[in-house]
Amino acid sequence: MAQKKALITGITGQDGSYLAEHLLSLGYEVHGLVRRVAFEDPQRRFTRIGHLLDQLTLHPASLESYPSIFSVVSRHQFDECYHLAAQSFVAESFADGFSTMNTNINGTHYMLAALRELQPRCRFYFAGSSEMFGKVREVPQKETTPFHPRSPYGISKVAGFDLTRNYREAYEMFCVSGILFNHESPRRGFEFVTRKITSGAARIKAGLEKELRLGNLEARRDWGHAKDYIRAMHLMLQQEQPEDFVVASGESHTVRQFCELAFGEVGLDYRDHVVQDEQFYRPAEVESLIGDATRARTVLKWQPEYTFPALVKDMITHDVQMMSDRNAAKSQTASEAI
Ligand code: G4F
C-alpha cells in the first residue's frame, strides 16, 4: 500500500506534536503548517517537535492568509488533513474576541475552501471542542446535545463545526469534527489550568514560590490525556462514513480536586498555597462539563489508557523533574564560573 500523506495545522502544539508522533509511527509522511515567525525562533516554538524535525516536512503558512494555505495545498497531495491550529485559550478569547474569531473561523474556512478547490478527496478533521456545549442543555453531553457556547472561543468553534458539516453535506467531502473534551499532558501550555497547577506545585515544592493564584476552583471539567485523544482523531478519518464523535473520559472533576491531587503527589496541601484571585474568573463561565463517548468507544473502538489520577501524576512528575533538571543546570553553570 502507498505511504499515506497527512497535513497537520497546529503541529507545534500539544495535540499536533502527539499526533505527528502517532502518524509517523504508523508509517505516514507527515507535513505541518507553521507560522513563519516560528521558523525564526525554533528554540522556543519547536520545543514539542524538536525531536521529530528530521522526519517532518514543515511549510510556512498562516491561517490568516488564504494564498499561503492555497500555495501549500497546491504543491502537495494529501490523504488526510488534521486542522488543529486555533487560538485555543478561552480567557484570551474574552480579551480579544475579534482576533480569535478571525483566526479560528476564517482559518477553518480557508482550509476547507483550499481543499475543495484543489483536492476534494483529502479527508478533513476539524478540532471541535466541548466548549461548544457551554451552558449545557443535558448531562452528560453527547453528539446530539445542542450547543450553547459561552465565549468567543466557543462561538468560533461552533462556526468551525458548522462549516465542516456544510462542506460535508454540500460538496460530499469527507469532513468530520471531533468534539473533544479537555485533554492535557506534560506538553500542555502553561496558561491552561492543569499545567498552571502542576508547574506551580513543582515551583512551590522547589522553594521558588509560596503561592499559586487561580480563579474558579469549583468549575468541573472532563479531563483526559492528549495522547489518548489524538488516537481518536486518526480513527475518525479511517471510517467508511464521515461522522462526528464526542471524545471524553466520562468523569468530571473540579479544579479544586485537580489541585488536591497534584499538590498531594508532592507531599503538599493545596490549601496552604492556592489563593483565589478575581482576575482569573471569566465573564461567562462554563460551570460543568462531562462527556458521553459511547459512540467513540463502540464505533471507533477507541479506548483511553490514562485514568484521571494517572494523568495528574504524569504531569506533576514531569514538572518536578523539569524543575530539578533546571536546578542541576544552574548549579553546573555556577560551579563552572568559580
Ligand atoms: O484549563 P482551562 O483554561 O480550559 P478550558 O477553558 O476548559 O478550555 C480548554 O478545553 C477546551 C475543551 O473543552 C478546549 F476547547 C480549549 O481550547 C481549552 O483547551 O480552564 C478550565 C477551567 C475553567 O473553568 C476555568 O475558569 O479552569 C478554570 N480556572 C480556574 N482558575 C482557570 C484558572 N483556568 C485557567 N486557565 N487559569 C486559572 O487560573
Q: pLDDT tens track of the chain, all 338 residues?
A: 899 999 999 999 999 999 999 999 999 999 999 999 999 999 999 999 999 999 999 999 999 999 999 999 999 999 999 999 999 999 999 999 999 999 999 999 999 999 999 999 999 999 999 999 999 999 999 999 999 999 999 999 999 999 999 999 999 999 999 999 999 999 999 999 999 999 999 999 999 999 999 999 999 999 999 999 999 999 999 999 999 999 999 999 999 999 999 999 999 999 999 999 999 999 999 999 999 999 999 999 999 999 999 999 999 999 999 998 888 887 777 777 76
In the set 29, 131, 184, 260, the catalytic residue is 131
The residue whose CA is least distant from atom 9 of ligand 1 is 182
Q: 145: closest CA among 156, 153, 157, 134? A: 134
Atom of ligand 1 nearest to the CA of 219: 24
CA angle 143, 90, 102 (to 5 degrees): 90
Q: Across the strands, what pairs with 58?
A: 32
Check if 129 is active-site: yes
The predicted structure's pLDDT at residue 335: 74
Atom of ligand 1 nearest to the CA of 184: 19
In the set 18, 110, 125, 153, the catalytic residue is 153
Ligand 1: distance of its center to the CA of 106 in Å? 23
Distance CA(81)–CA(120), nearest Å, equals 11
Asked if residue 90 has its Cβ within 6 Å of ligand 1, the reply is yes
> Are the C-beta atoms of residues 296 and 167 closer than 8 Å to each other?
no
Q: Across the strands, what pairs with 254?
A: 220
The predicted structure's pLDDT at residue 327: 82
Distance CA(236)–CA(240), nearest Å, equals 9
The predicted structure's pLDDT at residue 336: 77
Atom of ligand 1 nearest to the CA of 157: 15
Asked if residue 191 has its Cβ within 6 Å of ligand 1, the reply is yes
For residue 225, the SS3 value is strand
> Are the C-beta atoms of residues 11 and 32 closer than 8 Å to each other?
yes
Q: 88: closest CA among 18, 23, 12? A: 12
The residue whose CA is least distant from atom 6 of ligand 1 is 90
State pTM to two decimals.
0.97
